[in-house]
Every structure is written in structure tokens, then in C-alpha cells.
Amino acid sequence: MKPRPRSARVARQEAFAPPVHAPSLEALLGGLTPVAFLADHWEQRVYHLSRGQPDFYAPLLPRAEIDHLIASALALDPTSVELLPRARPGDAGRPLDAQRLQEGYDAGNTLRVNAAHRFLGPLRQLRGHLEQGLGALVNVNLYCAPARSETAQVHFDRHCFVLQVSGRRKWSLSPRETDLPLEYVPPFRFEDLEDSRGFRTPRFQPAGSDGPTEHFVLEAGDLLYLPRGHVHESRADGTHSVHLTLGFKTLTYVDCLASALYQLAHREPALRRSLPPGFLLGGTVQEEVHEELRRLGERLPQALDVEAAVTDIARAFLHKRGQLTGMTLGAEDDAAHLGLQDRVERRAGQLLHYSEGAGKARLQFGQRTVSVPADFGEALRFIQRTPRFQVRALPGPLDDEGRLALVGRLTREGLLYALRQEED
């Protein structure tokens, strides 16, 4: 009898050894390559990996570190720690501390630490790997649920990875009602409540959902990818459960088009004119409004500066990411002692955007931008795609002095750091 083929949506990886450090995107996906994941699953299909390795995430979140992470969160940002379901009215005045968290956990509440990557190095490293590999901002939340915890409310939200660190958790999935709901665009005037529920990421089940169509249990070491908008619910499965969610904030085409349109409005007074006072009455005035909108719409394909729009969106995106990164301790000393034979490496967690214009080539990372004459853009593109390189390997028309100067500047600015010989 031929073995029954596995579903394309479900994979099992037995031989993948637990990583020594925070796992990369490749390690998380098991036998599925990042290229295949992006082509077949990203924003499209659920990916469920039964790894068969209960200790796979131990280097990422050791059991002994969980208490330390929660204590650090309470000390540094108490608002980041929550009990789910949220506190009842009688608890509103009580400060959230370790005793109350324990009481809540013992009573069946789930403990959540928002943005847990701020409090543990391996989680920060994982976040950096994923942001570089996927070009999206990543937020890591920690969930600790007792065996008798309540079921998480049925909902859909941004696409995310779920990493089952320990215990088991039962998941129920329903088909998506709306493909790729928006996340951050505010409701428009033409939308009613039903539109808003269907096209934005709410914290409740859409009214028309037919209920779960698929059920499975995540065991320790397993992974689940949920595309944006996929309706789901989950609960502990007879044992405690510790899992991480890695949520992705991405940019959409509507973000870019909105930026392009508003940039055009800065240049074109016709777009900034008010509608004539009589348009509400209909008749000739309303017909004139329709005709003017058609004329403006016909000009848009030629008038929109899409390159400027993408650059504007990318800069704002990276600027926000840069608010969360950024010390450059020791960078000045590294830059002062660089030689052509030395090797440098990009700092973890840096997202980069390359652009050209007005005779300049620019490389943005976080809140910093390095600008050089456009002739030297090849060197910046090389740095963007090469995480580690030897200074002398920098391509383009730069001479050796120029290579040292550019790499030195990027080192001082915090993008690169010099590798010691034992790291090389």
C-alpha cells in the first residue's frame, strides 16, 4: 500500500536540530524554504509544522527565563503585562504585581506580555532576523495559560507565526471571510459598521462566520502561520501552555497610493479645491462635480509619482522602526581602526531602504540616512544585500580611501560593526 501523501498545508520535520541561538526564518520553517513559504503561504494559506521536537524553542525562551522576563516587564513597563480576560470592574484599582498575576493565573486567566522582545535578548535577535527576511515590522507577544484557562475569543487579526514553546494548545480555524483585511487605515466616510468589521482587523468574530472547519493541537516545538484575516480561536488542551505570537506589520498598495495622491495634492491646487456649495442638491452642479472628478482621474496615471510615494512610505516605516533601535557604543573606535582587509557585518535588526534622486544615492536605516553621489550607488546597493563583507570588496568607482571612508561612516552611524578575528 502506498503511503498516504501529506497535505501541502501540513509539514513534519523530524531531523532539524534545535538551534544554538535564536532561530532564523529558515530554522522556524523547518523543511520549507523561505522562497517557497513566500510563494505558497504568505498572505494566502495556513502553514502548520509538526516538528516532533519539544525542546526546539528552548534556546529562544528557556523555561527558567520566563519568570525573569515577566518580572522585567513588570519593572520596566507594567502596562505591557495583562491578564486575559481583562480585569473585572472590581479589580480596576488594584495594581498589577507578581502576586496578582499569580492569583489570576491560578484562577484560570491567561497572562500576556506585549512586545516581549524588549525584555529578552534571544527574542530580540529572532525579531531582527525576521524583519530582515520579510521586510516587515515584527512584534513578539508571550502567552502563558493554565490548563483550565478560558478559550481565546474568536477573531482574526494581522498575519502571524505562533510558536508553541511548551504544553499543548488546541486551535480551531474557519475560512477567511475577507481577503487581506486592512489594519491601520481609518474607516472611510462611505463605510458602515459591517464594512469596517469585514475589512479591518477586529477583536470579535465577523457576524457571518460559519464556524470552525478545522481543528488541531499545537505541541511543544510546533509552528503555525496564520495569514491576515484568517478567523481562529484557541485554548489550552488539558495542560499549561506557553506560546509566542510573532505579528507582522506590513505596508499595502493602498498605503502607497494614498501617499502618492496626497503628494500630488501638494503640487496640484485643483485637487485641493472644495466641492461647489450646490453639489448636495444634485442637478447641473453635481454633474459638473462628476465630470471634474473624471478629468482628474484621467490625469492620475501620468501625474502620480509612484517612486516618491514608495520612498515616502518606506522612510516613515523605517523611521518608526528606528525609534526602537539604536545605540552605537564602540562604533567610533571600530571606524578609526578599519583596514581594507577587515571584515564588517550589519547590526542585527536593521531594515534598509535604497533610493536615488537629484543626483544622489541614499541608504536609510532606522532614523539615519547616508547619502552619496549617484555614481557610488552600486556600493550602497552592495551593502544593502550583503550582511557581511570585506572592506576591499566594496564595488563601484570608489578608490581604497573612499571605501574606508564610506564603511567608516556607516560604522560610526551604527549600521555596521567590525568583526574581531575570532568572529571572522
Handedness of CA 185, 186, 189, 194 (dihedral sign): positive
**What's the pLDDT tens digit per position in 290-300?**
999 999 999 88
- Provide the pLDDT confidence category of residue 2 given band limits of 50, 70 and 90: very low
Is there a common fold for 10-249 and 331-418?
no
Class of domain 331-418: alpha beta
pLDDT of the residue at 23: 73
Q: What is the per-residue pLDDT across 317-373, written as a single tens digit (0 to 9) for each?
A: 777 665 445 556 778 888 888 999 999 998 876 778 888 888 999 998 877 889 999
Output the average pLDDT for the chain: 82
Q: What is the pLDDT of residues 384-408, one digit of tens each?
A: 999 899 999 999 999 999 999 999 9
Alpha-carbon distance of 350 to 141, in angstroms, equals 20
> Do 344 and 418 contact (CB within 8 A), yes or no?
yes
Tell me the pLDDT tens digit for each residue of 101-144: 998 899 889 999 999 999 998 998 898 888 877 878 889 999 99
Residue 53 has a pLDDT of 94
- Residue written as cell 521536537? 53
Q: Which residue has the higher pLDDT, 168 or 332?
A: 168
Q: How far is the C-alpha of 144 from the C-alpha of 56, rounded, in Å?
A: 18
Cα separation, 149 vs 205, whole angstroms:
20
Position 308 scores a pLDDT of 85
Confidence label for 86 from pLDDT (cuts 50, 70 and 90): low
Q: How high is the pLDDT of residue 184?
A: 56
**Residue 285, SS3?**
helix
Res. 61 pLDDT band, cuts 50 70 90: very high
Q: Where are the domains of the chain?
A: 10-249, 253-304, 331-418
Look at residue 12 and tell me whether its pLDDT is greater than 70. Answer: no
Per CATH, the number for 10-249 is 2.60.120.650
Residue 38: enclosing H or E segment and its boundaries? helix 34-40
Q: What is the DSSP string of 287-316?
A: HHHHHHHHHHHHHHHHH--HHHHHHHHHHH
Handedness of CA 206, 182, 45, 220 (dihedral sign): negative
Rounded to whole angstroms, how far apart are CA atoms 63 and 167?
Answer: 12
The larger pLDDT score, comparing residue 246 to residue 321, is at 246
pTM: 0.76
